[in-house]
Amino acid sequence: METGNKLQRNAFALAVISGCVLIILLAQFKVINLYIQSVIMFMGINIMISTSLNLVNGNMGEFSCGHAAFLCVGAYVSSITSVLIMAPNDITGAPFLPPELAVLVFPISVFVGGVVAALAGILVALPSFKTRGDYLAIITIAVNYMVISGIENLSVVGGPRGFMGMKKVVKSMYELADIPWMMIFVALGTIFCVLIIRRYVSSTYGKGVNAICQDEIAAEIMSVNTNKVKLVTFMLSSGLCGMAGGLFAHVVGYVNPQSFNILKSTEAMVMVYLGGMGSLSGAVISAVFFTFLLELLRPLQILKWVIIPFTLVLLMQFRPEGIMGNKELTDVFPKLRKYCRFK
Amino acid sequence: MSLLKVEHMTQNFGGLQAVSDFNIELQGGELVALIGPNGAGKTTIFNLVSGFYTPTEGSIRVNGKDTRGMRPHQVTALGVSRTFQNIRLWKDMHVLDNIRVAQHYRMGYSIWDAFARTRNYMGREKEIDRISWKLLEAMNLKEYAYEVPPNLPYGLQRRVEIARAMSIQPQLLLLDEPAAGLNSRDVEELIELVRWIHDTFHISIWMIEHQMKVVMSLCSWIKVIDFGQTIAEGTPEEIQNHPQVIKAYLGDDTI
Amino acid sequence: MEVLIQNIINALQWGSFYALIALGYTLVYGVLLLINFAHGDIFMVGAYIAFFLVIFMLGNIGLDPGITLALAVPLTMILTSGVGVTLERIAYRPLRRKGAHRLYVVITALMCGLILENGNLALLGASRKRFPELLETTVYRFGDVSVTNLKIIVILAAILVFFFLQFVVTRTKIGMAMRGISYDKFAIPLMGIPVDTVIVFTFILGSGFAGLAGLLFAMSYPVLEPYMGALIGWKAFIAAVVGGIGDIRGAFVGGFLLGFIEIGVVAIFPSTMRDLFAFSILLLILWAKPTGLFGLARHQKI
């Protein structure tokens, strides 16, 4: 399927990158204010959350209801790492490294958060070898509660009051150079996340995930090592979500356990099912749309949380497959295929 | 060394003895049938051989390797592939992907290769693609490569399932009632297909089948089981006139 | 020793609430294979209905507290089951008719729960409601162990409900239909069983007893807030699964087990550790026995 020249085939990727650069430039020259900037950053983080959950709930067909647990792990671990190393704190006292290095330490700490979250994903992956469906759903809920409850009992990291100090790390980045660092990192994180998932699900390896979703026994007998694929998928999903958590914690500058409760998991699920199960582009679109909707409805305060579920109930009645169904953007607009390299 | 050697295989489900003391040895290249009335334990034998169940007693050796304790995908990687009684294709994946995924055990790249799209990954994916297309072409399925299985007629779905089993590149192919639900023309095609596979790839084929036409025209050796017991085995002619077989199928007429 | 007995009684009471809610999950799951995530919020609605009924009867009509209680129990149960049935009619049934994927129904249930919670918050505001005292508290003392009459009522209610449901499900015609539907929802209508009626009946039972639990809970812990159903609902659901979802005995065993675990943890460790331990233990149980204590593994046929 050699259609178009190289430039044309990469056009989609170029468009995405130049879009990101444009937004960052706009932020740099203060064309868009801090509020819009933060909304855009939340969009990026939500894209990471929804695409990573989509991998498990959409592609693998499991029903994970506790995705916020991994967000929580990632947020805490990366915050603790960056604050311990870069900022004065109660535990280790003075920072280890000079503030100029914050730009390096921050992405590393986000990555560390992702790795630890991936390890936490094993907690869900192991039971999934034996059971699936509703029983696995319970396990994810239980893990969500366990993580929150565990952190609430760790007074070292602030317990139920939460953990802060990330603002200082972020500030030292801005002192180094006055460019929108957080925007850049969120954009990089989002692109990284979507790219990795895209590459995973389009490889033969990752197609094993779909095979497990549709017929696990057939997959196992047709030589797919289902346990390994499940483990890898759960770890990848939770790891990427953990990275989103690390970014989230530093964007907000403060985390507390209750902001990662079941409601947050529900939000993630809403994004996945709104976009359409198993559709990566659907997950991206719905994350953008959902963030936008949340901000739009902000003046309504609590009524927002009546309207959004109600919309979703209606959606389930009239278009239960979500915005995209299980199709990708390239299936809906075949012409797009010319402009992107895969599929 | 024999390709498949099953000795004294017994399987109990609770109090029920589904298979008792089953023996078979395949050297490679045979066409064997397993017949018997409904509920005789035929599919259970296939499930045991493909590693889905572990036998209560006895041993199964594939190329000399005992498969006890192996998971099904490991047994498959030894070269034992199978189809299912009621077609179990992956319904949302097109035919090409169905064929591709069944080559999982010899992907030859790690997850990191997939993330980074290394040269190894690209090369292996190309190779998988090449093999898949070649197989589709050989099995006359090329034009359906981008169709999802539910859109295909039943006979073609069977063919796709056999193609998927063949993409494992097995030494032993287990066919679980391949002719079930096919009309007479499809059955003719199936007989041709199985014969063609057998002649082209020189592999062992072991099938469960109820349609005597298929069994008699393809198989050189037949095993008959009833209530988990092997009641007869032999060439088609011997089986046709075997009193025990007639009794199992038609019942006892000494009333 | 006294402490132990005291804790056992507390655990029984606490477990009774879980059991009463868990059976709602289990009944619906047993029939429809649907996790009715809105059930915890139906419990919350039940508590609020009880609250408004009692306020109305005590304040506006000026009834005697005893008569109020006697009237409030059936009325709460009827009204709450009305809520449950309404939910079934407007949200779940159309989806079922269309033959939608089970997951979409689960999402709908989850969303209905959110609507109930936040709708309540939006309508009534964030202020907590204080449930009036209906029953004069009598404390029975046996040595150092003290039991209030309310605790005894709660435990007795749970046990009575258990026997009632066990009777309904195993001995009556409609109970048999309930068990049948989960096995084969296509064959059941062909056998002349009115599926919708059976499903509505199931929702009436489940929501009715959630209403009862709401009333009893409000009497025991007389502070109401819109999110009270969420946590207790999730926990009761987990209890139902640990017991083996779809089985009435499982719901009760799971509920009481959770009650005992939580009270036991609080007795030994600081109370903030309660959720951590409770969920870890449940996770271990599920790990060892993935289909729960009473659940039967459904064999997959190939």
Please tell me the CATH code under which domain C2-288 is placed: 1.10.3470
Nearest Cα of chain A lies from the Cα of C111 at a distance, in angstroms, of 5
- Give the position of tokens 């050697």: B5
Mean pLDDT (whole number) for C229-246 = 86
Residue A52 burial class via C-beta count within 10 angstroms: exposed 0-12, middle 13-18, buried 19 and up: buried
Contacting chains of C (3 CB pairs or more, <8 Å) are: A, B
Residue C196 structure tokens: 């919708």
Q: How confident is the model at residue C19 (pLDDT cuts 50, 70, 90)?
A: very high
Position A1 in a domain: no
Mean pLDDT of chain B: 90
Q: How confident is the model at residue C162 (pLDDT cuts 50, 70, 90)?
A: very high
pLDDT at position A1 is 41
The CATH number that applies at residue A311 is 1.10.3470
Contacts of A111 in chain B (CB under 8 A): none
> CA B228 → CA A333, B7, C27, distances in Å?
56, 14, 40
Residue contact C282–A145, C-beta within 8 A:
no
**pLDDT digits 0-9 by tens, A144-179:** 989 998 998 888 888 888 888 888 888 888 888 888
Q: How confident is the model at residue C58 (pLDDT cuts 50, 70, 90)?
A: confident
pLDDT at position C21 is 92
Q: How confident is the model at residue C281 (pLDDT cuts 50, 70, 90)?
A: confident
End-to-end CA distance of chain A: 9
pLDDT at position A244 is 96
* C-alpha dihedral sign at B83, B89, B94, B98: negative
Residues above pLDDT 70, as percent of chain A: 97
B202 — alpha (psi -120 to 50), left (phi > 0) or beta? left
- Containing structural domain, residue B164: 4-250
Residues above pLDDT 70, as percent of chain B: 98
Cα three-residue angle C285-C288-C291, rounded to 5 degrees: 80
8 A C-beta contact, residue B131 and residue B108: no
Mutate to test the interface with B, among A203, A230, A236, A237 (most CBs of B within 10 A): A203
Is C302 an interface residue toward B (CB < 8 Å)?
Answer: yes
Is B53 an interface residue toward C (CB < 8 Å)?
Answer: no
pLDDT at position A277 is 82
Contacts of B91 in chain A (CB under 8 A): 214-215
pLDDT at position A2 is 45
Mean pLDDT (whole number) for B183-208 = 93
Mean pLDDT (whole number) for A199-206 = 91
Position A43 in a domain: yes
Is B134 an interface residue toward C (CB < 8 Å)?
Answer: no
What is the distance between the alpha carbons of residues A285 and A290, in angstroms, rounded to a whole number? 8
What is the distance between the alpha carbons of residues B95 and B145, in angstroms, rounded to a whole number? 5
Residue contact A134–C241, C-beta within 8 A:
yes
Of A145, A152, A313, the CB nearest to C91: A313
Mean pLDDT (whole number) for C32-57 = 90
Q: What is the CA radius of gyration of chain A?
A: 20
| B203-217, C81-95, C174-188: the lowest-pLDDT one | C174-188
Of A196, A223, A227, the CB nearest to B104: A223
Of B73, B93, B121, the CB nearest to A220: B73
Torsion, Cα of C263, C264, C266, C272 (10° steps): -90
| A77-81, C74-78, C180-184: the lowest-pLDDT one | C180-184
Number of domains in chain B: 1
Q: How confident is the model at residue A113 (pLDDT cuts 50, 70, 90)?
A: very high
Q: How confident is the model at residue C298 (pLDDT cuts 50, 70, 90)?
A: low
Q: How confident is the model at residue A4 (pLDDT cuts 50, 70, 90)?
A: low
Mean pLDDT (whole number) for A313-329 = 78
What is the distance between the alpha carbons of residues A323 and A18, in angstroms, rounded to a whole number? 26
Of B73, B103, B115, the CB nearest to A200: B115
Q: Is residue A217's pLDDT more than 80?
A: yes
Please name the residues in contact with A253: beta carbons below 8 A apart, sequence gap of 6 or more: A164, A166, A167, A170
Q: Is residue B255's pLDDT more than 80?
A: no
**pLDDT digits 0-9 by tens, A6-59:** 777 778 888 888 898 898 888 888 888 888 999 999 999 999 999 999 999 989
pLDDT at position A343 is 43
Mutate to test the interface with C, among A57, A59, A131, A138 (most CBs of C within 10 A): A138
Please name the residues in contact with C13: beta carbons below 8 A apart, sequence gap of 6 or more: C151, C154, C155, C220, C259
Position B255 in a domain: no
Q: Is residue B254's pLDDT more than 70?
A: no
Mean pLDDT (whole number) for A108-117 = 95
| A56-65, A81-90, C66-75: the lowest-pLDDT one | A81-90
**pLDDT digits 0-9 by tens, A228-276:** 999 999 999 999 999 999 999 999 988 999 899 888 998 898 888 888 8
What is the distance between the alpha carbons of residues A92 and A84, in angstroms, rounded to a whole number? 7
Is C297 an interface residue toward B (CB < 8 Å)?
Answer: no
Position A180 in a domain: yes
Mean pLDDT (whole number) for C190-217 = 90
Mutate to test the interface with C, among A56, A57, A134 (most CBs of C within 10 A): A134
The strands making up B172-176's β-sheet, listed across from edge to edge, are B80-82, B172-176, B204-208, B31-35, B221-226, B229-234
Is B52 an interface residue toward C (CB < 8 Å)?
Answer: yes
Residue contact A218–B88, C-beta within 8 A:
yes
pLDDT at position A156 is 82
> CA A242 → CA A40, A41, B126, distances in Å?
19, 16, 33
Residue contact C118–A302, C-beta within 8 A:
yes
What is the distance between the alpha carbons of residues A145 and C238, in angstroms, rounded to a whole number? 11
pLDDT at position B253 is 60
In DSSP terms, C145 is beta-bridged to C142
Residues above pLDDT 90, as percent of chain B: 67
Contacts of B85 in chain C (CB under 8 A): 302
CB-facing half-sphere around the CA of A45: CA atoms within 13 A: 28
- Containing structural domain, residue A217: 6-339
Using DSSP's 3-state secondary structure scheme, residue A329 falls into helix
Chain C residue with CA closest to A216: the answer is C300
The CATH number that applies at residue B85 is 3.40.50.300
pLDDT at position C302 is 59
Mean pLDDT of chain A: 87
Mutate to test the interface with A, among B90, B133, B173 (most CBs of A within 10 A): B90
Residue contact C290–A131, C-beta within 8 A:
yes
Residue B211 structure tokens: 């349609």
Residue contact A306–C112, C-beta within 8 A:
no
What is the distance between the alpha carbons of residues B22 and B28, in angstroms, rounded to a whole number? 19
Number of domains in chain A: 1
Taking alpha carbons only, the member of A117, A112, A110, A122 closest to residue A73 is A117
What is the distance between the alpha carbons of residues B74 and B76, in angstroms, rounded to a whole number? 5
